[in-house]
Amino acid sequence: MTSTKGLHSPLEELKANGPAATGKTLVLLVNGYSASASEIVTGALKDRGRAEVIGTRTFGKGLVQSIVPLGNNASLKLTTAVYYTPNGTNINEKGITPDIVVTEKPKTKKDEQLQAALRYLARQP
């Protein structure tokens, strides 16, 4: 579940339907380029205890924007609401802090975050 609320928009809750596809542990890899929809999914899975988040803090784009057509091929993009995680956290301009912080080292050939995820999964029952 996630929700949105704006100054002139009522609280709207968005919920997933049906049972979880698996009870197995999920691992999400994130970094500063993880933004918007990926942060909303990450926040929902993290808050519900369905995923371990590994990597670095996400970008922090948690706004709802609406496009209003003005005619003559012109439009206006307005920020109309903010996304909240299931626990009520506003991620905008803050991002999501991973459960396990792992910084990539671009000069190495090894993917540190992927290796951390594989180690984490190997420890699960």
CA–CA distance from 111 to each of 27, 103, 105, 118 (Å)? 15, 10, 8, 11
Out of 5, 15, 46, 47, the active site residue is: 47
Q: Which structural domain range is residue 60 located in?
A: 2-122
Tens-digit pLDDT profile for residues 59-92? 999 999 989 999 999 999 999 999 999 999 999 9
- The pTM of this model reads 0.84
d(CA 36, CA 30): 12
Q: What is the mean pLDDT of residues 8-28?
A: 87
Q: How sure is the predictor about 58, in pLDDT bands with cuts at 50, 70 and 90? A: very high
61 is known as an active-site residue: yes
105 is known as an active-site residue: no
Burial class (CB in 10 A: 0-12, 13-18, 19+), 113: buried
Rg (Cα) of the chain, in Å, rounded?
17
Q: Is the pLDDT of residue 94 over 90?
A: yes
Q: Is the pLDDT of residue 42 over 90?
A: yes
CATH number at residue 102: 3.90.226.10
Q: Is the pLDDT of residue 108 over 90?
A: no
Characterize the bridge pairing of strands 2-6 and 9-14: antiparallel
Out of 36, 38, 94, 99, the active site residue is: 36
Query: Number of structural domains, the chain?
Result: 1
Contact 65, 80 (CB under 8 A): yes
47 is known as an active-site residue: yes
Across the beta sheet with 2-6, the strand order is 9-14, 2-6, 74-84, 63-71
| Token pair for 4 | 């949105």
Straight-line distance from the first to the last Cα atom of the chain, in angstroms, rounded to the nearest whole number: 27
